[in-house]
Amino acid sequence: MDFSILVETFEKMEKTTSRLMLTDFLVDLFKKTPENIVQQMVYLIQGKLGPDFIGLELGIADKMVIKAIANSSGLKLSDINKIFSKTGDLGKTSEIALENKTQTTLISEDVSVERVYDIFNKISRSSGKGSQMTKIRLISSLLNDSLPNEGKYIVKFLIGNLRLGIADYSLMDALAIAFTDNKSNRAVIEKAYNQISDLGEVANKLYKNGIKSLNTIRIEPLKPVRPMLAERVLNPREALERGNNRVALEYKLDGERAQIHKKKDQVNLYSRSLENITSYYPELKKEFANKIKNNSIILEGEIVPIGAENNQIKPFQELMHRKRKHDIEKNLEKYPVSLFLFDVLYIDGDDVTDQSYLKRRKILENNLSNIETRKIRLIPNKIVSQEREITDYLDTALKIGAEGLMVKQTESVYRAGAREYAWMKLKKEYDADLVDTLDLVIIGALFGKGRRTGKYGALLLAIYDSDTDSFPSVCKVGTGFTDEVLETIYNELKKHILSHKHPRVSATPNMDVWFEPKIVLEIIGSEITLSPLHRAGLNSIKEGYGLAIRFPKFTGKIRSDKLPEQCTTTRELVEMYHEQIKKREIS
Ligand code: AMP
């Protein structure tokens, strides 16, 4: 398939801010895609080479790309650098350089989607001595044969700068329409995706064997399962009511969620956002490999930092020391961790997600209680049916440094990717009107003044609306940042700057800069108010009004473990608003 077909679609997508049109473009593209490359096509649209957990990364340095552009255009390095400093965009630089090519090759090969994918793959796999040269040679060969606009997208892809704004959600809609003529089949696609977290593989199966075949997709070790999430409850009474008056209590620990997969000798740990995090926790990998005798298993738990001398749980921030690529061995002893297991999804060839919480807990206890160590433990649990018992357990939880409680319905199954009341989070009842912190995604910024000149002075934040798959604005935040954190955020945001508002963002304020929604911050506020300006929960309380957070403040936590789609949702915000009103009526 000609790469130019994909490029045409990308160009159309880049020009639109309408999500529906994005989907239409994708449908057309899939209809033109031959069966044997639909899998690669899905990855390319996602801006990847495979599912996240495989970790096939390109991340090519600008310098290498500049050399390759020079090689293939015949222009001097200094000329390329000049164009780059003018445009500030390497993709555009490549396009201009190829338009002004001073050399043509006699023999050129077609640029097909297959070839582009194949070369990207080779680039990402080449490592070690001489790999830089190999990479430059591979990129040059591709750019040599490319038209200017093709070169632009090849470069954008290589440096991880595609920013098309396509959510998995739209991709799944497009797959359903293109291959089944029925958008409602998206639910079937999503269910399969939740099991194996690989949309390319799901699309391939859909194209080859039809929608029914997706029902046979099951979870399997070494492919992360989309994690089940919890709904918020406000007090023990609500938890009991929603749990049929008999619930299981567990501490809600504040650390990093991990899914542990073992298949024969292979052990991998995956994060909540489905990335492979094994290399950060070598001691946990070793412990699992040595201690677990089961042939295959998928477990879930929370990794928390603990004291080097005692077993006390330390604040979440301490985990940051363990997320550095260097000094892993050194930090391992200085900043030890414990993994508290709370679920089992798969064991010895059996998917047990359809079994009840109580049965899964039994399996956990039967297979793991005899291997408990300081590094790996089962989270304690308690089955209760009285409000008092919940209040007491919450007190204990807070004393040992937990965030609150997880209250779980005893008969609930594990539903991959679902956020429902089968799991409920109960935090301390605060005196302030706002019961909980919110996780909000950065969508825009205003430049700062005074000490913050040249940096951002205020960030525009959004919640996630799952019904429309969009990010409506909810507040501007400028407090709670240390200079150091502000600098980190500023540098992180550089990778996500856009030339216009992102198609999935809904906001009216004028901003100096817009971003691709990527970075999630934890925010505390004083109350939720009606707002004529912000779009979060628009019309859900009052016609023409959205909701906003009053006096928002950054808590210091960048939630790098959360995807933007996992931040606070419209439903949660509206519920928090109602609760706040209720609270005022009582007091
Ligand atoms: P939240 O991030 O506030 O939506 O809360 C859900 C998160 O709580 C999960 O993703 C886990 O990382 C974490 N968590 C801590 N303790 C537990 C537990 N006992 N059971 C389930 N999740 C837990």
Residues 395 and 444 in one domain: no
**CATH code, domain carrying 360:** 3.30.470.30
Nearest to 481 by CA among 528, 523, 433: 523
Q: pLDDT, tens digit, for every residue of 380-430?
A: 999 999 999 999 999 999 999 898 999 999 999 999 998 899 999 998 764
Domain of residue 299 covers 229-426
The whole-number average pLDDT for the span 145-160 is 93
Instruction: Select from 397, 426, 455 the last residue of a domain.
Output: 426
**What is the structure's pLDDT at 431?**
43
* Domain membership flag for residue 558: yes
Per residue in 253-311, pLDDT tens?
999 999 999 999 999 999 999 999 999 999 999 999 999 989 999 999 999 999 988 88
Residues 379 and 245 in one domain: yes
Which CATH number fits the domain that encloses residue 531? 2.40.50.140
Measured from the CA of 566, which atom of ligand 1 is nearest? Answer: 4
Q: Say yes or no to pLDDT of 432 above 60.
A: no
pLDDT, tens digit, 9 for 90 and up, residues 104-148 = 666 678 899 999 999 999 999 988 888 899 999 999 999 999 999
3-class DSSP string for 355-407: CCHHHHHHHHHHHHHHHCCCCEEECCEEEECCHHHHHHHHHHHHHCCCCEEEE
Cα–Cα distance measured from residue 258 to residue 256, given in angstroms and rounded to the nearest whole number? 6
Summarised one tens digit per residue, pLDDT across range 8-59 is: 999 998 888 778 888 999 999 999 999 999 999 999 999 899 999 988 888 7
Give, for ligand 1, the residue of 228, 319, 406 to mutate: max count of ligand atoms closer than 8 Å to Cβ. Answer: 406
CA end-to-end span of the chain: 67
Q: Examine residue 491 and state whether it is found in any structural domain, yes or no.
A: yes
Kindly state the percentage of the chain with pLDDT values over 70: 97
**What element of type H or E holds 78?**
helix 77-87
Question: 406: Cβ below 6 Å to ligand 1?
Answer: yes
Q: How far apart are CA 160 and CA 407, in angstroms?
A: 40
Q: 378: Cβ below 6 Å to ligand 1?
A: no
- Does ligand 1 have an atom closer than 6 angstroms to the CB of 379? yes
Residue-level pLDDT at 585:
62
What are the Cα distances from residue 129, in Å, to 119, 133, 135? 19, 9, 11
Residue 164 lies inside a defined structural domain of this protein: no
Q: For residue 86, tell me if it sits in a domain.
A: no
Residue 359 has pLDDT above 80, yes or no: yes
CA atoms within 13 A of residue 365's CA, in its CB half-sphere: 8
Residues 250 and 372 placed together within one structural domain of the fold: yes
Instruction: Give which of 451, 465, 398 is closest to 428, Cα–Cα.
Output: 398
Looking at residue 434, its pLDDT comes to 56
**62-73 vs 90-99: helix axis angle to the nearest 10?**
10
When mean pLDDT is compared across 222-231, 249-258, 366-375, 405-414, the lowest value belongs to 366-375
Q: How many whole angstroms from 446 Cα to the centroid of ligand 1?
A: 33
Phi, psi for 309 (deg, rounded to 5): -100, -25
393 domain residue, yes or no: yes
Same domain flag for 272 and 387: yes
| pLDDT of amino acid 127 | 84
Q: Which amino acid does the sequence have at 514?
A: W
Residues 296-350 pLDDT 10s = 999 999 999 999 888 889 988 888 888 877 778 888 888 999 999 999 999 999 9
Give, for ligand 1, the residue of 256, 302, 339 to mutate: max count of ligand atoms closer than 8 Å to Cβ: 302
Q: Do residue 453 and residue 421 come from a single domain?
A: no
Q: Is the CB of 230 under 6 A from ligand 1?
A: yes
Of 402, 426, 450, which closes a domain? Answer: 426
Q: Could you give the percent of the chain with pLDDT greater than 90?
A: 69
d(CA 186, CA 180) in angstroms, rounded, equals 10
Encoding tokens for residue 505?
Answer: 């963002």
Catalytic residues, by residue number, are: 252
Query: What average pLDDT score do residues 82-99 get?
Result: 92
Residue 343 beta carbon below 6 angstroms from any ligand 1 atom: no
Contact 13, 158 (CB under 8 A): no
Q: CB under 8 Å, gap of 24 or more: what pairs does 185-192 form?
A: 185/211, 188/214, 188/215, 189/214, 190/417, 191/416, 192/217
Question: In the predicted model, is pLDDT for residue 213 greater than 50?
Answer: yes
Residue 67 in domain: no
Give me ligand 1 centre to Cα 303, in Å: 11
What pLDDT shows up at residue 267?
97
Residue ranges of alpha helices (H) inside 422-513 are 483-494
Q: How many CB atoms lie within 10 A of CB 93?
A: 26
Report the alpha-carbon distance of residue 550 to residue 580 in Å, rounded.
13
| Distance (Å, whole) CA 569 – CA 230 | 12
| Number of domains observed in the structure of the chain | 2
Distance from residue 302's CA to the centre of ligand 1 (Å) = 7
Residue 504 CA, ligand 1 centroid: distance in Å: 27
Q: Is the CB of 382 under 6 A from ligand 1?
A: no
Q: Whose CA is nearest to atom 8 of ligand 1?
A: 252
Contacts of residue 362, defined as CB under 8 A and 6 or more positions apart, other chains included, come to: none
The DSSP output letter for 433 is: S
Q: Give yes or no: residues 345 and 459 share one domain.
A: no
324 and 375 belong to one structural domain = yes
Question: What does the CA dihedral 330, 333, 337, 339 come to, rounded to 10 degrees?
Answer: 100
Give 178 or 169, the one with higher predicted confidence: 178
Instruction: Note whether 380 and 510 are same-domain residues.
Output: no
Q: CB neighbours of 510 closer than 8 A, spacing ≥ 6?
A: none
Examine the pLDDT at 63 and tell me if it is beyond 50.
yes
Exposure b/e, 47-62, CB count within 10 A at least 16 = b: ebbbbbbbebebebee
C-alpha distances out from residue 95 to 100, 340, 347, 451, 494, Å: 9, 52, 52, 38, 22
Looking at the fold, whether 450 and 418 belong to one and the same domain comes out as no
Which domain-ending residue is among 375, 398, 426?
426
Q: Which atom of ligand 1 is nearest to the CA of 425?
A: 5
Instruction: Tell me the average pLDDT of the chain.
Output: 91
| Cβ of residue 425 lying under 6 Å from some atom of ligand 1 | yes
What is the Cα–Cα distance from 565 to 245, expressed in whole angstroms?
A: 31
Residue 522 falls inside a structural domain:
yes
CA of 289 from ligand 1 middle (Å) equals 25
529 lies in the same domain as 392: no
Binding site membership of 257 for ligand 1 (Cβ less than 6 Å): yes
Our answer on whether the CB atom of 253 is closer than 6 Å to any ligand 1 atom is yes
Return the DSSP state at 184: G
Is residue 402 located within the same domain as residue 462?
no
- Tokens for 328, please give them: 């892993």
Note whether 404 and 540 are same-domain residues.
Answer: no
How many angstroms is it from 398 CA to the middle of ligand 1?
Answer: 15
Question: In the β-sheet with 381-384, what is the strand arrangement from edge to edge?
Answer: 229-233, 419-427, 404-409, 247-252, 381-384
pLDDT at 587: 45
- Residue 227 clears pLDDT 90, i.e. is over it: yes
pLDDT reported for residue 248 = 98
In a domain, 176, yes or no: no
Reduced 3-state DSSP string for 135-152: HHHHHHHHHHCCCHHHHH
Whole-structure pTM value: 0.82
* Predicted local distance difference test score (pLDDT) of residue 107: 63
